[in-house]
Structure 1
Amino acid sequence: MPKVTLGTTGITVEKNAFGALPVQRVSKEQAAVLLQKAYDGGMRFFDTARAYSDSEEKIGLALRAVREDIYISSKTMALTVEDFWRDLHTSLELLRTDYLDILQFHNPPFCPKPGDGSGLYETMCEAKEQGLIRHIGITNHRLAVAREAVESGLYETLQFPFCYLATEKDIELVELCRQHEVGFIAMKALSGGLITNSAAAYAYLAQYDNVLPIWGIQRESELAEFLSYIDTPPSMTAELAAVIERDRGQLLGEFCRGCGYCQPCPAGIEIQNSARMSLLLRRSPPEPYLTPEWQEKMARIDNCIHCGHCMEHCPYGLNTPELLRQNYEDYKTFL
């Protein structure tokens, strides 16, 4: 498998990283098995966040014995200096380490910079000077904030959604990172589960030698697929190109990426899944989404109070209430 180096960080790993958001959904024992198998299989980059409930704790428990052999990136959603230090020390304690390879500002609504009044970037630099972190990164879903961060020269890595549903502007961002020697970490490489062909997803991203994809892994069967790519990485074939072309035809445009930044919903609607239910029903076995529990969740759409919270917080500018309504009407046809 080809390796990728993240900008000027010196971090060089297999083009195959472990996204640890999903391990919060499994037990500590199951998470330990996944994480240990990932390490044994050759994965060396593990991405987590303070916001991922017990994900950091599970990584710390499973991988503390091999800490010096792996790279750990985490994230803070802190918007104050006090919260920054609390998050950082909590992450270090749970991960059972005395440093993070990368600490990232987690989808901030602005690009933290020196002198902006928040004190966040200065505090990040202080943490680096103390040896608590080794590299400074930022994640975002907003193209404007991402571009500003890259062009600022302040960040060593950017984490941004990137997959074969990418727009031209997304691809331009990847090239901008190359020009500025900023490491590009690709989240949502499977578009929140809407991309079901991992070989096609891998082959597409393999075309960008400065991109490190992180795969959200929850099951051993998923892990086995990605580990197999270390020895036999998929290359772009006519068959995989056809898969990509078909998916782009079905998925490009107005659809929910499932990022969850619209939550919490005052009406209790599980927006990040309900707003893309039509796609989930058609791109995966529908039965799990037709249970009484899911019927009750989808019925909550009728309780929408049109407060505008979801639209204000959607980084993709979607008309979420309308998308929810359309998905619910379609959902009823499956019952």
Structure 2
Amino acid sequence: MEFVILGKTNLLVSRTAFGAMSLDCKEIESFGEEADEKACAIVRQAYESGINFFDTSRSSPVCEQRLGAALHGIRHNIMLATKTAQSSPQEIRQDLRESLLALESDYVDLYQLENPKVLPQKDGRDGIYNCLLKLQSQNLIRHFGIATDDVEIAREAVLSGLYETVQFPFNVLTDEATTELVKLCKEHDVGCIAMQPLCGGVLSNIPLAFGFLHQYEHVVPVWGVHTQEELGQVLYFESHPPVIDQQFSEEVEQVRQFFN
């Protein structure tokens, strides 16, 4: 397993991250009463294969709860990230309390504001940024960042110098503006987390998707797998990265032309 420093956080995380938002997918739920056990097995397989970075969100309490149960007893060995979509300090604090309870932890390594309409500023009237600083001073969160679908919000976060990480969609099909944002993260030493490496399920070619992202050494893709078999494929290409050659580049271009 390859590891990378996540920007200014100095957290050493696996370059292959586990997206726990898939722990309530239909494939897992199809196991009925055994769904919790199946989710736990997938998480444990990821951990035992070397993945130490797990990302989830309060927007899916079931996923947080299943992740927390699966990581019971090994919390100190992993980096745990979650998110809040709330827009006031009081609601953010409440979200964090509920997340910590579900995750069976007394802190999170990375706390992310999820899809904020505007970027919270230091000493802003909304009080959100100062709330994050307070939570950090209380050792409830170690680091904080932004998770957004909006490239402009992410860009603003990078340039502001206020946030340690940004998470946004980045894959074979994203545009040049997003690629420039990825480069900007590296220039400013901001942790770059790629959501939707398979473009929300549009892409099925895992080696192509993995190889494309693997070219960017500072990028940490979050893979939301639905089965142990899917996880196995991702882990295989983590150990055997696709060769980036002319043929690979041509395949990337063919996929882009097909979807465009």
TM-score (structure 2 length as normaliser): 0.93
User: Which one of the candidate residues 114, 120, 125 is aligned to 2:133?
Assistant: 125
The 4+ residue runs of structure 1 with deviation greater than 4 A are none
**How far does the alpha carbon of each residue in 1:60-95 deviate from its partner, in whole angstroms, 9 at most, with x for none?**
101121101111100001101111011001000110
SS of the residue corresponding to residue 112 of structure 1 reads: coil
Task: Using structure 1 for the length normalisation, give the TM-score.
Answer: 0.73
Instruction: Supply the distance in 1 between the matched residues of 2:6 and 2:241 (Cα, whole angstroms).
Output: 20
**Counterpart for residue 81 of structure 1:** 89
Cα pair 2:61 2:102 within 8 Å, conserved? no
Residue 156 of structure 1 pairs with residue 159 of structure 2: no
In 2, the alpha carbon distance for the partners of 1:85 and 1:229 equals 39
Shift of 1:131: 0.4
The 8 Å contact of residues 42 and 227 in structure 1, kept in 2 or not, is answered as: no
Does the CA contact (< 8 Å) of 2:20 and 2:56 recur in 1? yes
Higher relative contact order (CA 8 A, sep 6+): 2
Q: CA deviation at 1:180?
A: 1.1
Q: Give the count of matched residue pairs.
A: 252
Match of 1:188 in 2: 196
How far residue 179 of structure 1 moved from its aligned partner, in angstroms, is: 1.2
Does residue 233 (structure 1) correspond to residue 227 (structure 2)? The answer is: no
Q: 5+ unaligned residues in a row in structure 2: which ranges?
A: 29-34
Choose the corresponding residue for 1:50, options 55, 58, 72. 58
The answer (yes or no) to whether the contact 1:199–1:240 under 8 Å persists in 2 is: no
Structure with more strand by fraction: 2
Equivalent residue number for residue 106 of structure 1: 114
The alpha carbon displacement at 1:224 in A equals 0.5
Residue in structure 1 matching 2:72, options 64, 69, 75: 64
CA distance in 1, matches of 2:14, 2:245: 21
Provide the secondary structure at the position in 2 that maps to 1:18: strand
- Residue in 2 that maps onto 1:314: none
**Residue in 2 aligned with 1:220?**
228
Look up the SS of the partner of 1:135 in the other structure.
strand
Per-residue CA distance 1:232-288 (angstroms, 9 max, x = gap): 222324443333211100223xxxxxxxxxxxxxxxxxxxxxxxxxxxxxxxxxxxx
Within 5 Å, give how 1:1-335 maps onto structure 2: 1-25=1-25, 26=28, 27-252=35-260
State the percentage of identical aligned residues: 38
What's the CA shift string for 1:159-181, capped at 9, x where partnerless? 01001112111111011111111
CA RMSD of aligned residues (A): 1.2
* Alpha-carbon shift at residue 141 of structure 1 (Å): 1.0
Q: Give unmatched runs, 5+ long, in structure 1.
A: 253-335
For the residues of structure 1 that align with 2:58 and 2:175, how far apart are their CA atoms?
A: 29
